[in-house]
Amino acid sequence: MRMDEACILVVDDELELLEIFSAWLGRSGCRVYTAPNGAEAMKVLRARKVDVLLSDIRMPIMDGVALVRNLNLMEIPPPRTLFVTGYGNFSRREIFGLGVEALLEKPVSRPALIEALNLCLLDSEEKWLTPSTEPRLQSATLTMESLEKATDEHSFALGRGGCSVACKLPLKEGMSIDLSIRFDREGLSLEAQGTVVWIDAEQGKAGVVFDYLQPKCRQWVLARIKTKNPRSFVPHG
């Protein structure tokens, strides 16, 4: 979907920021709705079709996390969601698990916001076409007995935009990595470039958003996402 075809709902209790974001998005040709809190946003979402939800996290009456939780309970397919926040006290793992696709930190520049929205509007198969030429900071090569067993044991889970994986490597949030996982029984392998979005050092788990998938694994990954249809972007794990 192109920017100028998209309908975007911006939610923030900071009215001046609402005004600024609306103006920016309007300049890119989007149709923009605004709401000052989660409760008002729910009203808009019930009444209109919205492609992307751009929301603050911390707001009175209903905050961003509660808004996404409520959306997940609704019948209608939820819009793609981005959070823009200045607040630091939240669980990234929970947010990506709820289906949020990106977290932007305030202050955010117009180009950065537009880029994130553009990426968000792409379909998965389009997102994962181009490999990055930048060097990766860490390379994780894992072998698992079987995909089904790993899924049952929560050592691997696939979301709409990435995966959570049990991994002993010293990863850090924001780190770009090469991820290679072999599933012996099915003879499948996952070869990806990704960005670590959360880590749980205690459980030895990490959440990774895919930036690029090798052509040979793209098909089975997309097919699996289609059949399982997970709500999470990166599973909670």
Partner 1 sequence: MFLLLGFFQVFGYLNGTALLRLHLASQSLIALACLLISIVLLRIVRSRRGFRFNGVLFCLAASIMACGLTYGLEAIAQWRPLLWVSIVIEAAAAVALIAVLVLLLRITPDILAVPHKLADSRFRELIEEAPDAILQVDERGTIVIANRTAERMFGYNREELLGSNVDQLVPQANRAAHAGQRAGFQRSGVAIPMEKRVGNLHALRKDGTEFPAEIGLSPVKTDAGLYVTAVVRDVTDRKRLERELEHERELRVQRIQVLARLAADLAHEIKNPLAIIHARASDLTEMASQGMAMPAGVVQKTCDSIVKTTERAIRVIRGVQALAHEGPHDPMQKTDVRGLIDQAVELSKTRFATHGIALDAVVPDGLPLVECRETQIEQVLVNLLNNSFDAIDGDERSQPWVQVRVSTQPVSELPGGVEAVHIDVLDGGPGVSPESRARLMETFFSTKPKGAGIGIGLSVSRTIAEDHGGRLELLDSESPTCFRLTLPVLARRTEGAST
Judged by the rule CB under 8 A, the positions of this chain that interact with partner 1 are 13-17, 20, 24, 58, 60-62, 85-89, 105-110
C-alpha 11: how far from chain center: 18
Tokens of 30: 């989007």
- Spatial distance between the Cα atoms of 150 and 113, rounded to a whole number of angstroms: 36
- Spatial distance between the Cα atoms of 119 and 112, rounded to a whole number of angstroms: 11
Identify which of 233, 219, 153 has the alpha carbon closest to the alpha carbon of residue 189.
219
Query: Which residue's CB is nearer to partner 1, number 114 or number 169?
Result: 114
Query: Which residue's CB is nearer to partner 1, number 20 or number 169?
Result: 20
Whole-number minimum distance, CB 14 to partner 1, in Å? 5
Whole-number minimum distance, CB 130 to partner 1, in Å? 27
- Spatial distance between the Cα atoms of 3 and 172, rounded to a whole number of angstroms: 32
> Which amino acid is located at 197 in the chain?
V
Q: Is 51 helix (H, G, I), strand (E, B) or coil?
A: coil
**102 within 8 A of 114, measured Cβ to Cβ:** no
> Which amino acid is located at 92 in the chain?
R
Query: Which residue's CB is nearer to partner 1, number 20 or number 222?
Result: 20
- Spatial distance between the Cα atoms of 144 and 93, rounded to a whole number of angstroms: 23
Query: Which residue's CB is nearer to partner 1, number 66 or number 169?
Result: 66
Query: Which residue's CB is nearer to partner 1, number 86 or number 131?
Result: 86
